[in-house]
Amino acid sequence: MTHTLPTTARGVADALRAGAQANRAAACRHGSIDIIRAPGRLIATGDLHDNPANLDAVVRAAGLDGPGTPCHLTLHELIHPPTLRPGDVDRSWRALARVAMLKADHPELVHVLLANHELAQAQGTLIQKNGVRLVDAFNAGLHADFGDQASLVRDAVFAFVMSMPLALRCECPQGDILCAHSLPGPAIMGRFDATILNRDLRPADYEGRGGSAYAMVWGRGYDADQLEDLTERWGVNLFILGHEHTPRGYALVEPNALVLNTDHDRGVYLPIDLSNKPRLHDCPALVVPIHPG
């Protein structure tokens, strides 16, 4: 189902809150994560960073908003485009609203995963790139478009972000896949609560000092030892992640992690048959460039 993006503060806030409700109420939601099972298909993606053309491409690939049989789709890191320069305003609320509408229309197929930029926006955490304070630029975009009603949208953004699952677990005959924005860095593992995937999220999980959800979406530098540790703890055979920039659109991290980028000209997505889970070294031949050639 294709909708026109609302333009009023009330309309945008309602769309975001409908997405939040769908995140929480979907039958696939189990505690802090979504869980799906074979048979079925998944379009796995990386960061999007307000790239409308690439978002259109993965939505089409999943058969949403058009003819064909729809399938599962992961989406994350939707806001804060890398093209911003000092003085620009960020209108990536439009990407959040569009994805919220997709979730409301397809609650069992669209899986909107928590990422560090969305969490930073909800919490007001400083992120600066190219001299731009990204949270401030996003808030400036809300003010430019909605004036004194910007707070309606800002509060709804918070509700949508805080409803997002940490990960999507795919239960496959050959072993499970975990799609997430990232994994905690090795230095935090001593304080990381690995049971977070098996329970509801708590306010302390989002805190910057010691919060396990925070550690999971901001983490970098995971290595083979850590991946093997999490494989054993979580019973996962393949991790599909984002968060790291990969110039060719994907990168392999031994022994079992794939990093995807979907936000640039060489961005890719990975179609997966859940009845025939790929191995890590199968993935380079399976990723689909959004802009071939």
CATH architecture for residues 9-289: 4-Layer Sandwich (3.60)
Q: What is the pLDDT of residue 209?
A: 78
Confidence tier at 2 by pLDDT (50, 70, 90): low
CA atoms within 13 A on the CB side of 124: 2
Phi-psi region of 70 (alpha: psi -120 to 50; beta: other; left: phi over 0): beta
Q: What is the pLDDT of residue 49?
A: 97
Give whole-number Cα distances, 55 to 49, 50, 51, 79, 140, in Å. 9, 8, 6, 12, 23
User: Using one digit for the tens of pLDDT, what is the confidence trace for 99-127?
Assistant: 999 999 999 999 999 999 999 999 999 99
What does the alpha-carbon distance between residue 206 and residue 166 come to, in Å, rounded to a whole number?
A: 11
Q: What is the pLDDT of residue 51?
A: 98
Q: What is the pLDDT of residue 1?
A: 54
User: Using one digit for the tens of pLDDT, what is the confidence trace for 149-178?
Assistant: 999 999 999 999 999 999 999 999 999 999
Helix%, strand%, coil% for the chain, nearest 5: 40, 20, 40
Confidence tier at 293 by pLDDT (50, 70, 90): confident
Mean pLDDT, range 55-79, rounded to an integer: 92
Mean pLDDT, range 207-221, rounded to an integer: 93
Phi, psi of 259 (to 5 degrees): -105, 130
**Residue ranges of the domains in the chain?**
9-289
Mean pLDDT, range 205-225, rounded to an integer: 93
